[in-house]
Each structure stands twice: as C-alpha cells, then as structure tokens.
C-alpha cells in the first residue's frame, strides 16, 4: 500500500502554536507584579479548584514559573490550601515552582528514541547551550530537559523546542534543530480502508465546510434528527465497538451504563493523554482531523445525556492543542457546538484541558483528578466512572480513536462497520508502526490483518528482524516466527500477546534488547506516581535488576527476583501502570533467555 506523507509545508499553515506562548519573565522575583494576574483570577475564581491547572499555566506564561506570592494569590482566589498547590506543582513535570528558561528544549529518551541516539541528542543539546539538564542559562533564555516520550515515535529521535515539535534530530548538529527549529511533519498515513484517517492531510483541520463536504457531521445529523439516545447506544453496541486506548471495554455498554446512572448531570471525557511510548495515532487524528473527534464527543454526549465534555490533551502536544482550539471555535461558530445544535434541543459544550507532563494521567481516574485540580493519583475502583466519575458524577471516558470510530458507525451503520475485520474484532484499526521499518507511520487496516502484513505496509523491516514489541512499553515482545499472527483481540489473546493501543515496534538484530529492556524499566521507574507501594518500589527494584542484565552481570537469582517483582506489581498494584510495568521486560526474558543467562544477544 502507498503511504501519504503529510509534509512540513502542508502543516505549518495550521501549526503555529498560540495556545501556550513563551513566558515573559524567568528570574527569581520575591515581589512579582500580581496585578498581571488579576484578570485571570477574576475569570477563573468562580470555577474553584477545577480551574487550578489552567490558572497555573496562565501564571507560568506571565512570570515564567509560579513564584511563591503568585501561588499564594492563586490559592486565595480559588480557595485552595497552599500546600495543595505545591503538591500539584511538584507532581507535574511541565509546571515550575522555580525559574525556567523562556525556551525549553525537551529531548525524548523513550525506548524508541533512546535506541536511535536520544541520549546522545540530549547531551548534544546540553553541550550546545552549555547547560546541564534542568539548568537555566545565565540570561534566562534556555533550559534543557529529558522527557520520557513526545509521541513522535515514527520520527525518532525527536524533541520539543519551545512549542515546536522537531523530528529526526541529529546529535551531531544540535544547532540546526535548536536555534532554528523546523516543525515536524504530521507523518505517514497508509492502509485500506481509510475510514478514520482518510481526511488527514487532505483538508485544513479546522475547515468546517470542507469537513461537511467529505461527509463530516453526517453522524450527528442522523442522530439528532432521526435517532433517540438509546437508539444511538444500540447501534454502537450492535457494531461491536470497543475502546481503542488499550482496555478494549465495550463502548456501547459504557455509554448505556452512564446514561442509566441516577442524577441529571453527567460528563463526557475524551482521553487524549497519549503517553504510551510507541503510540502516536491519536496525535494524527487530533492534528489532522480534529472535527471528527469533536463530532464523536458531541455524539457521545447526546447518547449519554451529557451537556458538557472535556477534551484532555497531553501537555507535550502543544501543536494539537492549538489546532483543537481553532477547531472548537469553528465548530461552535457553525452551530455544531453550543446551544440547540442543528436546531434540536440538545446543548453541548467542549472544554479543552492540557495535561502537564504525567504518564499516569492516561489512567482514567487519574485524568479525572487532574481535571479537578489535583495530583494525578488513580482512584480505587469500584465505584466506577459510569456512576462516580468526574466531580463524582456519572462519566463516560473514551479514547480519541474510539470517538472518531463511533461517529463513523452512526454515519454509515453497524452493518457497514462489521463488513471488515473479524467476528470478535469488527471494523478497522489504526496501528502505530515504528522502529526498524523503512516507512514508520500509521496504518489503518481491518482487524485480523497479520503482523507480517503490517510490517510490509510500513515498507518492510530494515535488516534482520529480531523482535516486535506489541502494545507499547506496557506490552510484550513477539518473535519473527509469529509474523502470521492475526492482529485481532482473539488472535493475539491465543498467543498470549496484547493488542493494546495498536503499537507495533520492530527491532532488528543490530540492537541489543538488553538496552531496550533497560530503557523500558527506566521509563516505568520514572513514571510511577508513588501512590501504591507495589508499583513505587517494584519499578525501582525492577530497574536495579534490569541494570544488572544490561551490564551482563545478572545471576540466576536475579531472574527469579525479576519474576517475583513482576508478579507482585501485576497482582497488587492499584492501577494499570503497575499492573503492566513488568510485562514487556518479562516477555523479553522468557523469549530470549540468553539475555539473562549468559549476557549474549539473541540470535
């Protein structure tokens, strides 16, 4: 299949980030001018604690960071204890209680960027600017940071220079991508059918007339004019749509339970905190076809009886946030958001919220806590979000791809959706293909397409295939003998492998998988929120053991300890982060025992 490459020229017309501008101050200031904050506090104060993160971001834009007097003023206005504000500032990596550079160079060292010299790029950036990670230049202009993932895995190694995402950065020439950064293209799109990805790159993302001309808003029109909310839910259930974020919970059942929960008020939340290394499909939808996501959110709001939705986008996606701001404004102006949509009695508003640098906020209840102005700690379940979600009210939370697929189903019908895929895994799926392939990118294909075919659609493997990581950092490794595996829930389940969010990362035999294991272990040790001990201590202990494997000094008892740690995290952790923190590492050990037993690379 041919791929369409969305080039830089196509994209820069829509990618200038106005959502977060560079801070104007950055030096320590014991007496900042609080009058600059007054208009923001006047607007935000009625929202109380739920407005904390947006207010902190606004303050940081003004002062360059959040000085103590500013934090105190925010606390008074929003009626939040100062200790809680400090807890939030310390939890999120993109909020600063100390002076930060006016331009921050964030270099990705995810498992995929790391194997393509991400650490070398980080060192090169520091050397170019004469800074250590976290250090601010003398004039307050620059700061360099290491980040776990930027969602640019198909263009690794990558960085975020200010608000400009830059791709395929060269450690040997840091000045080129730091001093004059050029915005990364959106990426490569391929496969067939192009149900969800067909508009990407072919029209302006916030062009409502173009979206309408290509069949956009047909689902919302059909639902509001010809279907009751229960009929919308029934159609989604008949199609067999399940969540595309990794958990694969039946979407129709989730909407049905939320709609049936007692109470008049409820919420719809779109989880766009795409932080799983190897995952970038949602970024392409958000940046290339945001109106389909907004339509899916509005449709879901109608189905469950919600009048308000929250679109939570990870902080490392400033370009997506800027595009979404414009798309929301365009949809509102055209009458597809707001009061009495399409002349009906249905009202629906969407509020865009930015994450602040925390992988754990991809977990649904941690995301709720973040919107509510708290640290992103996961909640105990039950109760479940369908009855006690955002602000304690019934909430349906869905992935970006899930909502776009729901709009497609209502526009074309459940039978059309089931015309491709398998009986147990109907429809098409966006797969993120990266690593040692000729053409990394997103491929949309029917469920059941084989693993080998996906690699072919990405141009084939460069070199001799050693392993394929499925499901991302929280996934597991497949071996070359498994290329005939059908990429469906039932097909991978029989092989003991996860489908997850659709990550397919190829590794050839030029790479030592021990280094990849080490990078995975480092990622989870960094991202554990620390709320529960099995995960907090387990990820640290796992990293220690994998460090021994990477150094070639592991003993048999280390392998047993690694298995014990993985078992404990899987069975005793509070949320999915800890439950899956050891799966990829243990699968590598099981499939390639020579990695541990004698230090030799597999093959």
Give the tens place of pLDDT for each residue, 35-81. 999 999 999 999 999 999 999 999 999 999 999 999 999 999 999 99
Q: Kindly state whether residue 357 falls inside one of the protein's structural domains.
A: yes
Confidence grade of residue 371 (pLDDT, cut at 50, 70, 90)? very high
What secondary structure letter does DSSP report for 136?
B
Q: Give me the percent of the chain exceeding a pLDDT of 70.
A: 94
Tell whether 403 and 304 lie within a shared domain.
Answer: yes
Do 213 and 336 fall into the same domain? yes
- High-pLDDT (> 90) share of the chain, %: 89
Residue at 23 is within a domain: no
pLDDT for 25 beyond 70: no
pLDDT in tens, 98-123: 999 999 999 999 988 988 999 999 99
Phi then psi for 443, rounded to 5 degrees? Answer: -125, 125
In a domain, 422, yes or no: no
| 316 shares its domain with 218 | yes
Pairing mode, strands 267-272 and 308-313: parallel
The pLDDT of residue 521: 94
pLDDT-derived band of residue 594, with 50, 70 and 90 as boundaries? confident
Please give the DSSP secondary-structure letter assigned to residue 426. Answer: B
In a domain, 423, yes or no: no
Do 253 and 278 have their domain in common? Answer: yes
Q: Do 167 and 38 belong together in one domain?
A: no
CA R_g for the chain:
23
Residue 226 CB contacts under 8 Å (≥ 6 apart), including other chains: none
- pLDDT at res. 392: 98
CA triple 138-141-147, angle to 5 deg: 105
The verdict on residue 109 lying in a domain is yes
Closest CA to 549 of 563, 538, 535: 563
What mean pLDDT do residues 79-88 have? 97
Of residues 473 and 50, more confidence is placed in 50
Same domain, 256 and 361: yes
Mean pLDDT across the chain: 93
Res 552 pLDDT > 90: no
Q: What is the token pair recorded at 416?
A: 């059309």
Among 102, 38, 34, 35, smallest CA distance to 65 is for: 102
Sequence-separated (6 or more) residues with CB below 8 Å from residue 573? 532, 534, 535, 538, 579, 581
CATH number at residue 356: 3.40.50.11540
**Does the pLDDT value for residue 504 go beyond 90?**
yes
User: Treating both helix axes as pointing N-terminal to C-terminal, what angle do 583-591 and 556-572 enclose, rounded to 10 degrees?
Assistant: 140
Is the pLDDT at 517 greater than 90? The verdict is yes
Q: Looking at the domain assignment, is residue 267 inside a domain?
A: yes
Nearest to 111 by CA among 359, 535, 473: 473
Looking at the fold, whether 354 and 287 belong to one and the same domain comes out as yes
Exposed, middle or buried by CB within 10 Å (0-12, 13-18, 19+), for 273? buried
CATH number of the domain at 590, please. Answer: 1.20.1440.230
Clarify whether residues 585 and 499 are in a common domain: no
Of the candidate ranges 15-29, 139-153, 401-415, the one whose mean pLDDT is the lowest: 15-29
Are residue 235 and residue 167 in the same domain, yes or no? Answer: no
Do the domain assignments include residue 603?
A: no
Check: CB of residue 108 under 8 Å from CB of residue 152: yes
Let me know whether 326 and 230 are in one domain.
yes
Q: Looking at the domain assignment, is residue 602 inside a domain?
A: no
Q: Point out the domain boundary residue: 163, 185, 207.
A: 185
User: Does residue 455 surpass a pLDDT of 50?
Assistant: yes
From 63, 91, 119, the end of a domain falls on 91
CB count in 10 Å sphere of residue 567? 13
DSSP 394: -
Q: The dihedral of CA 571, 576, 577, 580: what is its sign?
A: positive
pLDDT at 190 over 90: yes
Mean pLDDT of 254-281: 96
Given 185, 206, 222, the domain boundary residue is 185
Residues 80 and 110 in one domain: no
Residues 318 and 240 in one domain: yes
Strands in 256-326 per DSSP E = 267-272, 308-313
CA within 13 Å, CB half, 297: 33
pLDDT of residue 264: 93
Q: For the residues 249-271, what does the mean pLDDT come to?
A: 97
The 3-state DSSP class for residue 546 equals helix
What's residue 593's pLDDT? 84
Q: Does the pLDDT at position 598 exceed 90? A: no
Whether pLDDT at 96 is above 70: yes
Range of the structural domain that residue 408 is part of: 193-417
Q: Structural domain tally of the chain?
A: 5
**CA 556-559-562 angle, 5° bins:** 150
HEC readout, 549-573: HHHCCCCHHHHHHHHHHHHHHHHHC
């Amino acid at each position: 299949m041919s791929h369409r490459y969305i080039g830089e020229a196509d994209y820069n017309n829509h990618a200038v980030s106005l959502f977060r501008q560079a801070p104007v101050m950055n030096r320590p200031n014991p007496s900042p001018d609080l009058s600059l904050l007054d208009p923001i506090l006047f607007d935000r104060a009625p929202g109380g604690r739920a407005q904390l993160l947006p207010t902190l971001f606004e303050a940081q834009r003004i002062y360059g960071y959040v000085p103590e007097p500013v934090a105190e003023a925010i606390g008074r206005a929003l009626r939040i204890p100062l200790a809680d504000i400090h807890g939030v500032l310390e939890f999120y990596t993109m909020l600063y209680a100390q002076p930060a550079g006016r331009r921050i160079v964030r270099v990705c060292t995810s498992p995929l960027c790391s194997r393509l010299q991400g650490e070398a790029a980080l060192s090169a950036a520091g050397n170019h600017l004469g800074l250590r990670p976290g250090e601010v230049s003398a004039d307050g202009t620059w700061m360099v940071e290491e980040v776990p993932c930027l969602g640019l895995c198909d263009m690794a190694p990558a960085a975020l220079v200010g608000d400009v995402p830059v791709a395929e950065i060269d450690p040997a020439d840091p000045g080129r991508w730091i001093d004059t950064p050029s915005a990364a293209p959106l990426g490569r799109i391929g496969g067939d059918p192009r149900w969800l990805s067909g508009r990407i790159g072919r029209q302006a993302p916030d062009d409502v007339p173009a979206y309408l001309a290509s069949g956009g808003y047909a689902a919302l029109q059909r639902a509001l004019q010809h279907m009751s909310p229960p009929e919308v839910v029934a159609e989604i259930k008949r199609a067999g749509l399940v969540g595309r974020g990794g958990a694969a919970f039946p979407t129709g059942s989730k909407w049905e339970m939320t709609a049936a929960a007692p109470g008049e008020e409820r919420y719809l939340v779109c989880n766009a905190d795409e932080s799983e290394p190897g995952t970038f499909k949602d970024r392409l939808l958000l940046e290339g076809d945001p109106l389909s996501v907004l339509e899916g959110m509005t449709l879901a709001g109608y189905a469950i009886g919600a009048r308000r939705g929250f679109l939570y986008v990870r902080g490392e996606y400033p370009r997506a946030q800027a595009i979404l701001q414009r798309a929301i404004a365009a949809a509102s102006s055209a009458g597809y958001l707001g009061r009495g949509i399409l002349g009906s009695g249905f009202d629906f508003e969407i509020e865009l919220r930015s994450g602040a640098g925390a992988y754990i906020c991809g977990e649904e209840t941690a995301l709720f806590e973040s919107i509510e102005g708290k640290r992103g700690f996961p909640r105990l379940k039950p109760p479940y979000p369908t009855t006690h979600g955002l602000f304690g009210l019934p909430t349906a939370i869905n992935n970006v791809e899930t909502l776009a697929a729901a709009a497609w189903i209502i526009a074309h019908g459940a039978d059309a959706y089931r015309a491709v895929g398998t009986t147990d895994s109907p429809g098409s799926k966006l797969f993120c293909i990266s690593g040692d392939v000729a053409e990394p990118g997103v491929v949309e294909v029917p469920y059941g397409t084989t693993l080998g075919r996906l690699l072919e659609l990405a141009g084939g493997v460069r070199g001799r295939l050693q392993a394929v990581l499925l499901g991302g950092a929280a996934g597991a490794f497949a071996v070359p003998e498994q290329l005939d595996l059908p990429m469906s829930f039932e097909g991978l389940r029989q092989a003991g492998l996860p489908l997850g969010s659709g990550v397919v990362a190829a590794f050839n035999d030029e790479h030592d998988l021990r280094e990849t294991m080490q990078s995975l272990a480092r990622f989870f040790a960094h991202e554990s929120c620390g709320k529960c001990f099995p995960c907090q201590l387990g990820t640290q202990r796992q990293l220690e053991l994998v460090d021994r494997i990477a150094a070639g000094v592991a003993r048999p008892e280390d392998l047993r300890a690694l298995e014990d740690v993985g078992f404990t995290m899987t069975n005793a952790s509070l949320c999915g982060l800890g439950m899956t923190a050891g799966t990829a590492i243990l699968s590598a050990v099981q499939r390639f025992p020579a990695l541990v037993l004698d230090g030799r690379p597999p093959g």
